[in-house]
Amino acid sequence: MFRLLKGGIHPYSKKESTRKKALAHPVFPPSQIVLPLYTAREDILEPIVRLGEGVKIGQKIAISEEGHALPIFSGISGTVSKIGLEFHPYFGKTPAVVIRNDFKNSKITLHPVEKPYEISAKQMMEELSRLGVRGMTLEEEPVSDKIRRHLGKASTLILNGVECEPYLTADYRLLLDRLDPIMKGAQLLAQVLRSDTMVFVVQGDKIPAVEALEHHPLWDDDYMKVATVPTRYPYGEEKQVIRLVTGQEFHKNMSSAEGNCVVFNVATAYAVADAILHGAPQTHRAVTVSGGAVKRPRNLWLPIGSPLESLFVNGEGMKEDPALILLGGPLTGIAQKELRAPLLVSSGGLLALAKREIPPHLLEDTPPAPMPCIGCGHCLPVCPIHLMPNMVHRHMKKPHQNPQILAKFQPDACIGCGCCNYRCPSRLPLAQSMAEAELIVAEYQAQVAAQQETPAPLPLPPALEEDMVMILVEEENNGKIIPLVPDKTEEPPEEKNAPILEHPFPTEEYLPEFDEDEVIILVEEPVPPTKGGLG
Amino acid sequence: MRPYTLSPRLAAPTSVNAMIADVVVALIPALATGIYLFGWEILANTLVSVGFCLVFHRFYGLLFGRPRHYSDPSPWVTGLLLALCYPSDLPFWVIPLGAFFSIVIVKELFGGFACNFVNPALAGWIFIQSSPYILSEYHQPRPMVEANLLDAISSATPMSYLRQGVIPPLSPGEMFLGFHSGAIGEVSTLMLLLGGCYLLLRHVIRPTIPLTYLGTVAILTYIFPQNGQDAYYWMFSQLCSGGLVLGAFFMATDPVTSPVTPRGTVFYGVGCGVLTVLLRYYGSYPEGVAFAILTMNALVWWLDKLGMPRTFGMKPFTRQKAIFSTCLRGIQSLGAFSRKNTPTSMETTPKFSKNQDNGEGYGGILVYVLVFFLVVGGIHATHSLTSLQVHQAKESQTLALLQSAMPKGTFMSEMPYQGDDFDTIYLVYAEHNAIGHCVSLVVDGFQGEISLLVGVDFGGAVTGIAVQSQQETIHMGEKVLSQEVLRRFLGKSGTLSLEGDNAVDGITGATLTMSAVVTGVNRALELVQQLDELPTWIGGDA
């Protein structure tokens, strides 16, 4: 069923250590959770709990006043112990709510939909945004937004269980252990989106998941399929999956709605089923704790916001000193130094890698100077987007970059998979050069657009930034609020001496049939001020 | 939003040093064959060559203080390849000279490792080769010398046989295994193929360049064998002789000087193959591999532009179409009309042009190519039209022929006559008066065709015979077609024969050639007789 796809690499898989370990509840639940108020979509949330207030599992913690960010919920029961700056895995210190666990696991009463299988699209979108269901990618796009974009434009519903990164088995175990909710969630999504076919995509090393899917009681051969894709990275990226399943290729700015298909992660389908059938908010996720330094690697079902150190506690500690701790897979994961940082919705795994598992030049954050580019061209065939990373890198090495030349290489189409870095024999930071080139090109294109268009009035500072500043200031000045953002500027006064055209038509010959009334109306209409007008 | 990271934290088990080491390992079979065929001094030569390359590299770095954060392992490969390109016996100063040129001039002066634009080993080899007498002698392999009980003798390489359009007198096995004279590394095709396969399996080189290179040479030599040789064996000899396999697997695939784009490598391999065959057929050197690869090395920047891959989501050949439309626009803008009349890019670009590169600036090269060909054609036409020497030579040749056919004639003009394809009748003038006819005709001689120019006056008598071209043997041609014999035809008219009335004295031993000349003269006389009516303007004032 899959079609031949160019690009990609085949790194070692290392999934054997966790692939036979079922998804487990933590033996040692986290003693506290940290819920960042700064989201991956750069929104600031407003906490609605107070310091010292008791919270239950599933209670709403923070909302967005403007309404375009989803609320977040607590995954444990306990008391709010701190509202202030805490570590974030990506952004240093950000405002966050800290909840201390009382280990009672008291839950709020849930209000599920009455007839879930007759739910309308509008009701489902409202329900999903009420319960804060987000996608499992790094962008954390709300699922309701994705449904809205694809309404009536998704005849093929693709459930993505590829999980192409080494070490990670969380989605695979979710497919095996929680298949029932996943099937129900997929059915709900297909029903709302009016999809004809439903395709589960798994990688070639996940044959037990294929068997489990095909023997499930809800399985229907008429409109369900399983597509097994080659075991290569990055075949789990959304556009690669669409290419493999439907044969359509989407350029960087094209939406998958143009191809009449939509991709959801299997974990997202699980969250949708949980929200619609039980009315439960998205508070937990499946995580793989693995790596050569972990004593007992395993798959865990953990509340979102658990500190990373609590994951290693559940892995029964380290058997040796980890050289590197990564949130995410080894190919796109981000190194963590502060283990108090919380688990995010997008984190599929936490790896503690031993020194022997990492190439020596990647151990430290300041790698040694690489060899020059010898032009071997190995980075071209592995690029899934068919870009030319070596050319971009060569250009970025020059003292002055020409954005017009860089734009020809289309660095903005890069998905940042890092295949070029993996393959490069000179150990060049090609993907990083590509990201820098993307910034230069974007800046240049913005300049060009600004020159071409008429200068628009400057936008007012958004209220969200104001909130951000206030929170920070509150933290620093012990609660005194000093507004830094100036008041809204007044609208410019209307021009008083607006010129009025007294005789728009030179002679009466052009208007022989017009009545006097109409002419008068034309004359009395306000005329917009023109540059260098008659006045 | 993607955080700036140092990902990925994995890397393929490869490095530049490992690639260089793989190339060295892949060259060991060829070197071993060289040692077996030509003796242990080959190993010494190789070690000295590599040593000199390393020494020059190190000295340059010390003298000019080039800051280096990395070690440059490429002198190993350069020295090894240089040694493999030499013949077995060579003057002592060749090795340091080649190493100096390769390392210092070709590589370091252009910026060091990975900055050279041509292959250093090839450039050094050509520099040595262009010295007058050094590398022209190739010795026979030692086993063959011992078998023939001879001293070490220099002999013609297979390439020099092929250069003369002859298949070398060797069995296919000898050609393939390397039992013939030649440079050390290039003789054994089998060992070079082994090394090439090792490189392919280790993913050091990509298969595109060797396959397209060897394939192009194979196809071209199969289609165009020289001198009517057997096409299969001609192709096999061309593939197995000279430095073709060495060049295809080890020189053309040098990562620094070969294109990176997949399409570019195809163009590169095909270009190398075409140039190699052209240089082997028409070049002044017997071997063309080195010059072909160096020429294509200089074109790599353009091949990479031409072969830029299709970005994910773009339609196939969008960029190429855009380049073509840009070319058309460029050609239109070359005209006298202003640019305002030319179509803009928005009309020709496809649906998603907003997101994509529309090929601006890549197409201009084709305009330059067009202009180049126009200029070259113009120069050539002008030269051929105005070349006085060529025309003077032609005129004097024609006049000499005419005067030997009709001594008084100074000028002749062709008459309207539709006859045999080879027969032409001229009217001959002395100053302004017509004095007779000349007939240019072709007769079958003993070995081939003889082209004659026979002069006949208005009385119908032969005034002279000139031989325009002939293919007779030297013996007969000298005898019959000499002025002495041809003078026997002077003044004859009517129908001539070798015997009886109106006879011309023959030559013993060359009867066939003589009768052919007699036939020609008879035909000329007959043709002139058939011109029953002379034009009225002939001889008006005579």
Please write the tens of the pLDDT for every residue from B72-110. 889 999 999 999 988 887 888 889 999 999 999 999 888
Amino acid code (one letter) for A186: A
Number of H helices, E strands in chain A: 15, 16
CA distance B300 to chain A (A): 11
Helix (H, G, I), strand (E, B) or coil at B289: helix
Helix (H, G, I), strand (E, B) or coil at B481: coil
Tokens of B468: 């325009």
Helix (H, G, I), strand (E, B) or coil at A46: strand
Question: What ipTM, to 2 d.p.?
Answer: 0.76
Test B255 with A421 for CB contact under 8 angstroms. no
User: What distances in angstroms separate CA A460 from CA A114, A466, A488, one per listed residue?
Assistant: 43, 11, 7
Q: Tell me how far apart the alpha carbons of residues B322 and A209 are, in angstroms, rounded to a whole number.
A: 46
CA dihedral defined by B110, B115, B118, B124, rounded to 10 degrees? 60
| The pLDDT of residue B5 | 58
End-to-end CA distance of chain A: 72
Task: Please list, residue by residue across B98-127, b when 16 or more beta carbons sit within 10 angstroms of its beta carbon and e when fewer do.
Answer: bbbbbbbbbbbeeebbbebebbbbbbbbbb
User: What distances in angstroms separate CA B54 from CA B59, B99, B184, one per listed residue?
Assistant: 9, 9, 21
Residue A57: which of A37, A73, A76 has the closest Cα? Answer: A76
Cβ pair A273, A182 in contact under 8 A: yes
* B8 interfaces chain A, CB cutoff of 8 Å: yes
Share of chain B above pLDDT 90, in %: 28
| The pLDDT of residue B419 | 59
Those residues whose C-beta lies under 8 Å from the C-beta of residue A65, and which sit 6 or more positions away, are A46, A463, A467
Exposure of B439 in the CB half-sphere (CA atoms within 13 A): 29
3-state secondary structure A333-364: CEECCCCCCECCCCCCEEEEECHHHCCHHHCC
Q: Are strands A197-203 and A78-88 parallel, antiparallel or unpaired?
A: unpaired
Would you place residue B529 in the very low, low, confident or very high pLDDT band (cuts 50, 70, 90)? confident
pLDDT at B355 over 60: no
Burial class (CB in 10 A: 0-12, 13-18, 19+), B295: middle
Those residues whose C-beta lies under 8 Å from the C-beta of residue B464, and which sit 6 or more positions away, are B404, B405, B406, B407, B454, B455, B486, B490
Average pLDDT, stretch B313-329? 76
Cβ pair B220, B277 in contact under 8 A: yes
CA-based torsion, B437, B440, B441, B445: positive or negative:
positive
Test A333 with B115 for CB contact under 8 angstroms. no
| The pLDDT of residue A98 | 95
| The pLDDT of residue A427 | 87
Residue A57: which of A266, A267, A278 has the closest Cα? Answer: A278
- CB contacts of B323 in chain A (<8 Å) are none
- Return the H-helix or E-strand segment holding A448: helix A430-452
Q: Are strands A261-265 and A92-101 parallel, antiparallel or unpaired?
A: unpaired
CB atoms within 10 A of CB A502: 7
Q: Tell me how far apart the alpha carbons of residues A526 and B239 are, in angstroms, rounded to a whole number.
A: 86
pLDDT tens readout for residues B400-435: 888 888 888 887 777 766 555 667 788 888 877 888
Those residues whose C-beta lies under 8 Å from the C-beta of residue B92, and which sit 6 or more positions away, are none
Test A427 with B256 for CB contact under 8 angstroms. no
Mutation to test the A interface, candidates B2, B4, B10, most A Cβ within 10 Å: B10
Test A331 with B7 for CB contact under 8 angstroms. yes
Q: B166 or B246: which carries more pLDDT confidence?
A: B246
Residue ranges of chain A with pLDDT lower than 70? 1-4, 364-369, 454-535
| The pLDDT of residue B279 | 92
Would you place residue B1 in the very low, low, confident or very high pLDDT band (cuts 50, 70, 90)? very low
Those residues whose C-beta lies under 8 Å from the C-beta of residue B186, and which sit 6 or more positions away, are B84, B85, B192, B242, B243, B245, B246
Alpha helices in B166-288 (DSSP H): 172-177, 189-201, 208-223, 231-240, 244-246, 262-282
Q: Fill in the DSSP letter of residue A38.
A: B
Test B11 with A422 for CB contact under 8 angstroms. yes
| The pLDDT of residue B119 | 93
Those residues whose C-beta lies under 8 Å from the C-beta of residue B69, and which sit 6 or more positions away, are A368, A369
Least confident piece of the model among A378-392, B8-22, B153-167, B222-236:
B153-167
Search chain B and give the residue with CA nearest A39: B1
Q: Tell me how far apart the alpha carbons of residues B184 and B89 are, in angstroms, rounded to a whole number.
A: 10
Q: Tell me how far apart the alpha carbons of residues A177 and A410 are, in angstroms, rounded to a whole number.
A: 42
Would you place residue B68 in the very low, low, confident or very high pLDDT band (cuts 50, 70, 90)? low
For A249, the closest of B114, B203, B312 (CB atoms) is B312
Mutation to test the A interface, candidates B4, B5, B9, most A Cβ within 10 Å: B9
Those residues whose C-beta lies under 8 Å from the C-beta of residue B507, and which sit 6 or more positions away, are B479, B480, B485, B513, B514
Q: Tell me how far apart the alpha carbons of residues A286 and A275 are, in angstroms, rounded to a whole number.
A: 16
pLDDT at B471 over 50: yes
**Chain B residues 210-269 within an 8 A CB cutoff of chain A:** 255-262, 265
Mutation to test the B interface, candidates A168, A380, A439, most B Cβ within 10 Å: A380
pLDDT tens readout for residues B473-496: 766 666 777 777 788 888 887 777
Tokens of B490: 């002077």
Test B16 with A361 for CB contact under 8 angstroms. no
In chain B, % helix, strand, coil (3-state, to 5) comes to 55, 10, 35
Q: Fill in the DSSP letter of residue A285.
A: E
Cβ pair A201, A244 in contact under 8 A: yes
Mutation to test the B interface, candidates A94, A376, A385, A452, most B Cβ within 10 Å: A376
CB atoms within 10 A of CB B475: 10
Those residues whose C-beta lies under 8 Å from the C-beta of residue B439, and which sit 6 or more positions away, are B423, B424, B425, B426, B453, B454, B456, B523, B524, B527, B528
Q: B192 or A486: which carries more pLDDT confidence?
A: B192
Helix (H, G, I), strand (E, B) or coil at B463: strand
| The pLDDT of residue B430 | 81
Test B6 with A139 for CB contact under 8 angstroms. no
Tokens of B168: 């070398």
What pTM does this model have? 0.72
- Whole-number mean pLDDT of chain B? 81
